Amino acid sequence: MSYPVPANQVETLYEIKKSKFIALAGFVNSRESAMTLLDQAKAKYPDARHHCWAYVFGNPNMPTSAAMADDGEPSGTAGKPILNVLQHKDIGDIMIIVTRYFGGVKLGAGGLVRAYSAAAQQAIDALEVREEIVLDDVFVEVDFKHEQFVRHIVEQASGKIAQCNYSHCVDMHILLPNAALDDFEQQMAPIALSIKKQR
């Protein structure tokens, strides 16, 4: 399984009736990383009235988590329209924060919804994406003489060796793309002392 995620952070500016909407979009994959990005926006624009946001974690077709906040704007006029934009895009592990400077002219509930949607959309349009490949955990035990062979196969499959423990044999924790698992198991069958998968 792979899905598009933000490859960079972008910031865009949307202005309407003297109000400024500064949208920041970037990669987040946990509540902690999302709150760090929010803190960055607040630190950069400390005098702004609102920092409204939404995020989606995981594969956009079946997200593991999604959340939003209006940060003082009327309920449903900020976080929801930002989340709505995210849910209609095929991008996962993403957060958009829209920082608003009030320009003195009230936009009304409908105007706010349109402005937050437009600001979020503008940020998405400016964003570059990359493929995020989901890696599965595989635990393999092999004799010392086979370690280099296993490393070679893992590298060819675009996987990673997460950890190696040496005792009477080599105990390897490997991260592999789902699509490479069957091939890997076939190649390991003659040499592995044990092989376990975690999905």
Residue 199: pLDDT band by 50, 70, 90 thresholds? low
pLDDT above 70 covers a percentage of the chain that reads 99
CA atoms lying within 13 Å on the CB side of residue 152: 7
Q: How far is CA 198 from the centre of its chain?
A: 22
pLDDT above 90 covers a percentage of the chain that reads 64
Query: In the prediction, which pLDDT does 180 show?
Result: 83
If you average pLDDT over residues 128-147, what whole number do you get?
Answer: 87
Query: In the prediction, which pLDDT does 1 show?
Result: 64
If you average pLDDT over residues 22-51, what whole number do you get?
Answer: 95
Query: In the prediction, which pLDDT does 143 show?
Result: 92
Measured from the Cβ of residue 55, the count of other Cβ atoms closer than 10 Å reads: 28
Q: Which two tokens stand for residue 169?
A: 């044999």
- How confident is the prediction for the chain on average, in pLDDT? 91
The single residue listed with the structure tokens 């390991």 is 188
Is this model's pTM higher than 0.95 or not?
A: no
Query: In the prediction, which pLDDT does 16 show?
Result: 93
Per-residue model confidence as pLDDT tens digits over 77-129: 999 999 999 999 889 999 999 999 998 888 999 999 999 999 999 999 999 98
More confident residue, 78 or 182: 78
Residue 25: pLDDT band by 50, 70, 90 thresholds? very high
Query: In the prediction, which pLDDT does 173 show?
Result: 93
